[in-house]
Amino acid sequence: MGGGARTAYQVGVLKALTAMLRLQSPFEEDFPFQVLVGTSAGAINAAFLAGQAAQGLAAFDQLSAFWSRLRSQDVYRLQVAPWLRFSRLAVALNLWTRARTDGAILDTMPLVDTLHRAVNLGGIEDAFEQGALDSVAITGSSYTTGVHWTFCHAGEDRWREPWSRPGRRSEFQPITIEHLMASSAIPFLFPATALWVDGRREYFGDGSMRQVSPLSPAMHLGAHKVLVVGVGQPQRAGFAGGEATNGAPGIGAIAGHAMASVFHDTLQADVEQAQRVTRTLQQLPREVAAVLPYRSVEVMSIQPTQSVDALAQAHAHELPAGVRRALGGLGAARGAGALASYLLFEQGFVRALMALGEQDAYARKDELLAFVSGRAA
């Protein structure tokens, strides 16, 4: 799953997993996953890893290095005149005008340049040819039709029939930078991206929107075990960010709550459902389970054990000055951790998230190793 800058947490989890695998089997450097599925900024992580999968575990080292170099200026631009912060109406009008003109508040051309330099799309085919990877999938939500699409790139011997379910479909086509921009287009903040599906042009936004079954693409692509690394958090409602007078939620609280609903709220429900179905199938007689239109899928989920909003609040001062002025002018600066956490591509916050990911992974070391490698520590 994705969530803007919060996605650095995934990098910490994978960094710890890489260290565990190397310690367990020092001479094995094979890439440990056969299918990669990503949504929003998680799509960027998935595509980056797919492009380096032929390098084995070194792919995770390179992903960590990529995030360690990343800055907000590499992702987006927002210019807000200093004097605007003193007038909420002026800020609102300025941002509304920008959104009307550009389709979004932020300019994401820096991200286009960053991805062209960082993501090795040609390496995906190399990974297929060398057997390091079976398939990679990126999800996006069509503003044009409302359909949630999964774009799948697979080796020739792994080609599968596209699937179609109510409100969600798939199509097999090579992954491009445009797919990554579409999947990571946070609503209102990042502009929509045009993609071709069914022989026509449609405009896409963040893949987390209308994603009712986040695990479905991995299952359709043949996964029997799914490691899910989300970026949700415990008790987010208690730190949604920003309060108006009399305890009523301010714009920061409302925006943070809306973002969390878009990015995280469907994931845990889908994980629980998959685990429940698997437990039920395992309890049925084998001959009965064999005729049912379901199959067992082992799912392990890792999510932050600490408040990402609180972590972002502590690093909110690192935001670019224009973004801070915009939040301040909109009355969302106070307690703006929830909203800021999606935009804080700065090294203090990124390092803190990666450290939290490593900490959470090591806390479940035996379980994680047994799940990924089939062997306990």
**Which residues are known catalytic residues?**
40, 206
Helix axes 8-24, 365-373, angle to 10 degrees: 80
* DSSP-based three-state secondary structure for 110: helix
Cβ 224 vs Cβ 162: under 8 Å: no
Q: Is 51 exposed, middle or buried (0-12, 13-18, 19+ CB in 10 A)?
A: buried
Distance CA 288, CA 127 (A): 38
Cβ 67 vs Cβ 78: under 8 Å: no
Distance CA 182, CA 324 (A): 26
- Label the pairing between strands 193-197 and 200-205: antiparallel
- Label the pairing between strands 168-172 and 148-154: parallel
Instruction: List all residues 6 or more positions away from 160 whose beta carbon is below 8 Å from its beta carbon.
Output: 152, 154, 172, 220, 221, 222
